[in-house]
């Protein structure tokens, strides 16, 4: 079973700062099968990144994804007020077929 | 624009079966390379994938829930459904339906979610 571990659990930053979120897999994950989501309170998650580095439709270019193998990163270049939320990574391909990381909360410092 | 909407009872008694339906609007459930999934989220916690179905009827389930889960599709109604049997308080969560796009290998469209509480 592949376990996705996200760090840090909480990231306290100010608007305009750079956010770097980590997602580490217990086994190698194909880059094609790693996605990132944003979730705000009371809302469903929203797809940000698929294929480790491709932005979903309508996602601003301040969001970028990178990584391969077991280490993946979501970077928000300059935090906007609407970016404070919880972020999840997700992998496809190993039993369970689909798994999510535990999430990283980006909060206003 | 495709939209998903969950529906079903908000309260289920322990040991009973939780039943939810997801209605797809703005597009056909049978079109394209899509799998139709259920995902849940207990209050204050992370996301757990429950399972998915293709319009052919082919299913995949999370092994941790497989013995209790059935996902089915009704293409004539543009709906897919979740049944989770023998529920306990641990099954209390917000349940989301979501579309998994095979080309992007990601959940690209989500329903708004529905809260289900298991309590007597």
Per-residue pLDDT reduced to its tens digit, B30-85: 987 899 999 999 999 999 999 999 988 999 999 999 999 999 999 999 999 999 99
CB contact under 8 A, B106 and A97: no
Chain A residue with Cα closest to B96:
A44
CB contact under 8 A, A95 and B63: yes
- Beta strands A34-39; A86-92: pairing state: antiparallel
Domain range annotation of chain A: 4-108
Name the token pair of B46.
Answer: 């992370």
CB contact under 8 A, A98 and B37: yes
**At residue A101, does pLDDT exceed 90?**
yes
A46: chain B residues, CB-CB within 8 Å: 110
Task: Give the distance from residue B93's alpha carbon to the nearest chain A alpha carbon, in angstroms.
Answer: 13
CATH assignment of A4-108, among 1.10.3720.10, 2.60.40.10, 3.30.70.360, 3.90.650.10: 2.60.40.10
**At residue A94, does pLDDT exceed 90?**
no
CB contact under 8 A, A35 and B111: no
- The beta strands (E) that lie in B9-105 are given as 11-12, 18-25, 34-41, 48-53, 59-61, 69-74, 79-84, 93-101
C-alpha gyration radius of chain B = 14
Q: In the structure, how many helices (H) and strands (E) does chain B have?
A: 0, 11
Per-residue pLDDT reduced to its tens digit, A3-18: 999 999 999 999 999 9
The arithmetic mean of pLDDT across residues A48-66, rounded, is: 97
**At residue A32, does pLDDT exceed 90?**
no
B105: chain A residues, CB-CB within 8 Å: 32-33, 35, 50-51, 92
A92: chain B residues, CB-CB within 8 Å: 105-106
A56: chain B residues, CB-CB within 8 Å: 104, 106, 108
B112: chain A residues, CB-CB within 8 Å: 43-44
**Which of B48, B64, B107 lies at the smallest CB-CB distance from A47?**
B107
Name the token pair of B31.
Answer: 């079109």
Chain B residue with Cα closest to A49:
B106
């Amino acid at each position: 079973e592949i376990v996705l571990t996200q760090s840090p659990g909480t990231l306290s930053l100010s608007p305009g700062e750079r956010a770097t979120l980590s997602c580490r897999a217990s086994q190698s994950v194909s880059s094609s099968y790693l996605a990132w989501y944003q979730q705000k309170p009371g809302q469903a998650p929203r797809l940000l990144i698929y294929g480790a580095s491709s932005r979903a439709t309508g996602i601003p270019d301040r969001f970028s994804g990178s990584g391969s193998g077991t280490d993946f990163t979501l970077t928000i270049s300059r935090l906007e007020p609407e970016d404070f939320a919880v972020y999840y990574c997700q992998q496809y391909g190993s039993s369970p077929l689909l798994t999510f990381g535990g999430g990283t909360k980006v909060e206003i410092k | 624009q495709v939209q998903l909407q969950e529906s079903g009872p908000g309260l289920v008694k322990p040991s009973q079966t939780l039943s939810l339906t997801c209605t797809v609007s703005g597009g056909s459930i049978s079109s394209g390379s899509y799998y139709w999934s259920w995902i849940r989220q207990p209050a204050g916690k992370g996301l757990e994938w429950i399972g998915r179905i293709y319009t052919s009827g082919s299913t995949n389930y999370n092994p941790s829930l497989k013995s209790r889960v059935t996902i089915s599709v009704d293409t004539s109604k543009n709906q897919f459904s979740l049944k989770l049997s023998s529920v306990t308080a641990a099954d209390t969560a917000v349940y989301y339906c979501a579309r998994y796009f095979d080309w992007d290998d990601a959940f690209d469209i989500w329903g708004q979610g529905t809260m289900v509480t298991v309590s007597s």
